[in-house]
Amino acid sequence: MYCNQQPPLLLIPSEERYTWNLYNVLDNQFLDYQVRLPHKRFCGSSEGWLIAVERDLRVTLINPFRRVKGTDKKNSIIRLPALHVQEEIRESWVTKRKCNYYVYKAIMSADPILNAKDCIVTVIYEDCNQLAFMRPSKDATWTYVNPNLSRIQEILLVDQNKLYAIHNWDEEDFHKLSTFEISTQSSYTSNPKLVENYILSEDDYLWFKTYLLYSIERELLMISRYRICTGKGGPPDTRKFKIYKLDFDRWEWIEKETLGDIALFVGDNFPISVLASKFPGCMPNCIYFNHDHDEIGYGTDPLTDFGVYDVASQVVSQPYNTCAMTLVKMAKKPTIWVVPPFQAK
């Protein structure tokens, strides 16, 4: 997946149960309608669909825009099988508090209705951050990747058969990129190529997250997000990002100093890139970010880590209007980027 045709909207839960607002961050305006959705955390957003986990650990795909437009509502929800969990720990995960966080992150390779034969749902799940996948149109159960591969932070599926994964390696304080192929027998096979020579941690920062995406220049980018605590017991804030591109000839990361005319949107969603010059109000060379899952506290921290990072000035701003800022800070579930099947107005 390369550069998206349009920027995403920000999906913000309202005070009314099951009601979510659509906010256009480019013109700082709410759209004139709302969507009906469960009041829960969404672990992924891709192809206009949202991905959530039910209390029985079933993975559910939801398309709120089919409901809004009043067409084909029966295909607006797809319920996949439950993910496997050992019986001795099932009770701790299926409680109301933690089931939303059993899946760390989920992605889809294609629309499960419009392009069902190419749709693969891949999830990073449970405490060890392991991998599982299934093809909703072909598979009856999930396929689980080798459990020795764990502590995965980010995944990117390319060309329907190649998966990139960033993960910790051998308990050391650095991360590696591994590639895998999905075979016709529905299994992942390891590719021996590993990116071994980059260290992402920095002493001044509490921890970091990473995102993978392809840009419009057809570069494989890794975006590293650095967070720090601002006060005793307070939630961490994002202070900076670093951008790397993969040199496929040398198989190593090269740091980029600028995104040029590109704007990125990151969070629990599938990372999105757009050409800023095509959309009034979109800031080039910037990263729009949300408060996404950080594995600490299972969503108990205030959801206040969001904003726009200017790559050139290395400054974070929060340009949302007062109403949007209030709703985001009051929300008990995190916002998420979503791309609707229509142009926002």
**Residue 103 counted as domain residue:** yes
Please state whether beta strands 29-36 and 19-24 pair in parallel, antiparallel, or not at all (unpaired): antiparallel
**Residue 184 counted as domain residue:** yes
- What pLDDT shows up at residue 305? 85
The mean pLDDT of the chain is 81
- What pLDDT shows up at residue 2? 45
Residue 173: both structure tokens together: 């304080």
Gap between the Cα atoms of 209 and 306, Å rounded: 14
Can you tell me which residue has the tokens 């089919």? 66
Can you tell me which residue has the tokens 């090269």? 254
Domain, as residue range, for 229: 9-338
**Residue 4 counted as domain residue:** no
**Residue 40 counted as domain residue:** yes
pTM listed for this prediction: 0.89
Let me know: does 177 contact 166? Beta carbons within 8 Å. Answer: yes
Can you tell me which residue has the tokens 């459990």? 147
- How does DSSP classify residue 99? G
**Residue 1 counted as domain residue:** no
- Residue-wise pLDDT tens digits, 269-289: 999 999 999 999 999 999 999
Domains: count for the chain: 1
Is the pLDDT at 234 greater than 80? The verdict is: no
- What pLDDT shows up at residue 72? 55
Q: Which element (helix H / strand E) includes 51?
A: strand 49-53
Let me know: does 31 contact 9? Beta carbons within 8 Å. Answer: yes
Cβ neighbours for 91, distance < 8 A, ≥ 6 positions apart: none
DSSP SS3 for 3: coil
Gap between the Cα atoms of 112 and 194, Å rounded: 31
**Residue 2 counted as domain residue:** no
**Residue 121 counted as domain residue:** yes
Residue 101 or residue 336, greater confidence: 336
Q: Provide the β-strand partners of residue 77.
A: 62
Is the pLDDT at 299 greater than 70? The verdict is: no
- What pLDDT shows up at residue 167? 79
Residue 147: both structure tokens together: 């459990």
Residue 124: both structure tokens together: 């990073």
- What pLDDT shows up at residue 185? 46
Is the pLDDT at 201 greater than 70? The verdict is: no
Please, which pLDDT band fits residue 301 given cuts at 50, 70 and 90? low
Q: What CATH number is attached to the domain comprising 61?
A: 2.120.10
**Residue 295 counted as domain residue:** yes
